[in-house]
Amino acid sequence: MTAPDTHRAIDAVWRIESPRLIAGLARMVRDVGLAEELAQDALLAALEHWPKSGVPDKPGAWLMATAKRRAIDSLRRKKRLEKKHEELGHELDAQQERSMADFDTAIDDDVGDDLLSLIFTACHPVLSTEARVALTLRLLGGLTTEEIARAFLVPEPTVAQRIVRAKRTLAESRVPFEIPHGNELNARLGPVLEVVYLVFNEGYSATAGDDWMRPALCEEALRLGRILAELAPEEPEVHGLVALMEIQASRSGARTGPSGKPILLLDQDRGRWDHVLIHRGLKALERAQALGGSLGPYALQAAIAACHARARTAEETDWARITALYDALVQLKPSPVVELNRAVAVGMALGPAAGLDLVDALTSEPALKGYHLLPSVRGDLLAKLGRFDEARAEFQRAAALTRNARERGLLLDRAAACARGSAV
């Protein structure tokens, strides 16, 4: 193996091992920041030794043993320092003796709980959303600061600073390294799922010409979701989110034309949808449903996506079921955007006039002011009703509101079609 080969192999080992490594260390030293530093030290040692000695047969165990030695050194140093100060009594000494004795048994224990604790810590509510995202990708995804910066189109020092501050906040707030219990678990799961979905959407919104790290965020989020689904298999919303992401990702190859122009869901070539992902998405949705109870917001959105995924042609779409699912979603998470989506479904299920009634009721909604999809949907319904002049004005309004150049082109095309007296 040449040196660059070894470096690539170390990168790969790091990606596979670092979350478990950091999680295991965090349980021992009770400090995520310190755990990551220890893991990084072990990585540096690997970079120094492996090009000479070759990658060991059990690279994960090698990294853990190295990090563990450094953890013990660091604890001893800390202890000596504390002894010198003589501020702390026997209680703390005993506690540290115990934690050192715990080291050997700790490694063989179930790593699942440690990983889950790490996810909950990285997504702790004391942190800002940006900090949670950066820390999660760094600790669970094994991404470098540079990769995160490129993915989110921000300067690298900004990301580095976010991570440093986040670690400090966690230490200062004495955030315990643990899995929340009972009711708290549910409340704390929300931010975790939100972070994963945010990463996914950031990747999904990448456009042609963006750095390749951006679309790679979709894969990162899917991976995190899939890991989470195995760590917390009893949580229906975890499977709901995974289902939603798998099904959305299944369309990524079909949603832009050769020139990069967006293709709307109903116009997509369904043969280009990824059927491996659709299958996985439908399975994940089944898992969410099998756990019983009413579906949560992610599972409901996944169920809507599944209606599209199951339809072999656009005409086969079960709009009545989609409308019913939106009804449930509006009940659970009232939002004008969901109402607008529901209006689209009603327009498909019961005809454009019924949809238009609902959209008209939303035009005075302050939250939708400046939202380009409102005039865009309204224009579409008006065009279907043959009211082309009004439709053209709506498409033009929508075009002026969108920030996406591709979308603007599409909307102006439709406005021009309306001027000719045609719906498309």
User: Quick check: 276 binds other proteins (CB under 8 A)?
Assistant: yes
Among 88, 208, 400, 424, contact with other proteins (rule: CB under 8 A): 208
User: Quick check: 259 binds other proteins (CB under 8 A)?
Assistant: yes
d(CA 45, CA 314): 56
User: What is the smallest separation between the CB atom of 58 and other proteins, expressed in angstroms?
Assistant: 9
Contact between 309 and 288 (Cβ < 8 Å) = no
User: Quick check: 132 binds other proteins (CB under 8 A)?
Assistant: no
User: Quick check: 334 binds other proteins (CB under 8 A)?
Assistant: no
170-176 contact pairs (CB < 8 A, 24+): 170/31, 170/32, 170/33, 170/121, 170/124, 170/126, 170/127, 171/31, 171/33, 173/124, 173/126, 175/121, 175/124, 175/126, 176/30
User: Quick check: 102 binds other proteins (CB under 8 A)?
Assistant: no
Residue nearer to other proteins on the CB measure, 162 or 280: 280
User: Quick check: 43 binds other proteins (CB under 8 A)?
Assistant: no
Instruction: Kindly provide the b/e burial profile for residues 166-190, where b requires at least 16 CB atoms within 10 angstroms of the residue's own CB.
Output: bbebbeeeebebebbeeeeeeebbe
Among 51, 59, 240, 297, contact with other proteins (rule: CB under 8 A): 59
User: What is the smallest separation between the CB atom of 398 and other proteins, expressed in angstroms?
Assistant: 22
**Window 215-254: residues binding other proteins (CB under 8 A):** 216, 219, 222-227, 230-231, 252-253
d(CA 134, CA 149): 9
Among 89, 155, 182, 258, contact with other proteins (rule: CB under 8 A): 258
CA angle 25, 30, 35 (to 5 degrees): 40
Count residues binding other proteins (CB under 8 A).
Answer: 30
Residue nearer to other proteins on the CB measure, 47 or 354: 47
User: Quick check: 153 binds other proteins (CB under 8 A)?
Assistant: no
User: Quick check: 11 binds other proteins (CB under 8 A)?
Assistant: yes
Residue nearer to other proteins on the CB measure, 130 or 274: 274
Among 182, 209, 366, 370, contact with other proteins (rule: CB under 8 A): 209
Q: What is the DSSP string of 316-340?
A: G--HHHHHHHHHHHHHHS--HHHHH
Contact between 149 and 155 (Cβ < 8 Å) = yes
Contact between 196 and 223 (Cβ < 8 Å) = no
Query: Residue 350's closest CA among 383, 386, 384?
Result: 384
User: Quick check: 355 binds other proteins (CB under 8 A)?
Assistant: no
Residues that bind other proteins (CB under 8 A): 8-9, 11-13, 15-16, 59, 112, 208-209, 212, 216, 219, 222-227, 230-231, 252-253, 256, 258-260, 276, 280
